[in-house]
Amino acid sequence: MRVKDLPPADQPRERLLNSGATALADRELLALLLGSGSRGVSAVELASQLIAHCGDLGELSRSEAHRLLAVPGVGPAKAARVAAAFHLMRRAQAEPERLRVRCSADIATVAAPLLHGCPREKLVIVVCDPRGAVIRRTVISEGGSDHTSAPVRDIVATVLISGGAAFALAHNHPSGSLEPSAADLDVTARLSEAAETVDLRFLDHVIVTDVAWRRIALSSDTDRRYV
């Protein structure tokens, strides 16, 4: 039976979307990469033949595309998709662990390389996933020697576009002062409110100088922890 002839709830793609990838067998996950079978052979059957040809899933993951072409029904497009998918997996595993934000001090550490030694104020946004791993850190605005803008709408949009679940801000004071201005306190309060409206977690806002840092506290604690 062809995969598309199965009841929709039993098709690998629908089961993955409804129940997650763990609900599928190896051959079903591979069938989704293949995209289709060949004459008289379903995608799932072709996936089984491909795994058997290589010996096991581990050996398949290490195989070059040209080796997969030896399986009848596996053409250049299918072989390239499978080889590319496993190569992406190896690249992902080889990447260093992402920086993680667990407290206010971590925000200062993550943002400091973008702020130290700057003669003008810069505002840095640190975007995190639900576990605090840093997805993105970037300068979102740059101003003069004693101020920079903090566009609330642009900040929130940046987090959403980046796929973040939480975020923090950091900016420098070229004068070396760690005292927050009235504008610093105001934007911190407004961002806290804006984040709630779109179901984001606003972690903190810190001032960073070349030698120290300070959180712009809406409460009395000096180093806020998130986990």
Cβ 43 vs Cβ 31: under 8 Å: yes
- Looking at 94, 114, 130, the residue that finishes a domain is 94
| Residues 146 and 86 reside in one and the same domain | no
Lookup: tokens for 110: 């993550």
The answer to the question of residue 224 being in a domain is: no
The answer to the question of residue 220 being in a domain is: no
The backbone torsions φ and ψ at residue 214, rounded to the nearest 5 degrees and listed phi first, read -155, 135
Predicted confidence band of residue 110 (pLDDT cuts 50, 70, 90): very high
- Looking at 94, 115, 141, the residue that finishes a domain is 94
The answer to the question of residue 197 being in a domain is: yes
Please check the confidence at residue 4 and state whether its pLDDT lies above 90: no
What number of CA atoms fall less than 13 Å from residue 215's CA on the CB side? Answer: 18
Please check the confidence at residue 30 and state whether its pLDDT lies above 80: yes
Question: Mean pLDDT over all residues of the chain?
Answer: 87
- Looking at 94, 118, 135, the residue that finishes a domain is 94
The total of structural domains in the chain comes to 2
* Average pLDDT of the segment spanning 50-63: 93
Please check the confidence at residue 1 and state whether its pLDDT lies above 60: no
Per-residue pLDDT, 92: 76
| Residues 110 and 142 reside in one and the same domain | yes
How many residues in total does the chain contain?
Answer: 227
The answer to the question of residue 68 being in a domain is: yes
| Residues 211 and 109 reside in one and the same domain | yes
| Residues 163 and 187 reside in one and the same domain | yes
| Residues 77 and 21 reside in one and the same domain | yes
| Residues 63 and 127 reside in one and the same domain | no
Question: What single string gives the DSSP state of each residue in 181-205?
Answer: PHHHHHHHHHHHHHHHHTT-EEEEE
Per-residue pLDDT, 5: 62
| Residues 46 and 89 reside in one and the same domain | yes
| Residues 15 and 114 reside in one and the same domain | no
Is beta strand 166-172 parallel, antiparallel or unpaired with respect to 201-208?
A: parallel
CATH of the domain at 195: 3.40.140.10
Dihedral sign from CA coordinates of 164, 169, 170, 171: positive
Domain residues for the domain of 57 are 3-94
| Residues 78 and 114 reside in one and the same domain | no
Per-residue pLDDT, 73: 93
Per-residue pLDDT, 160: 94
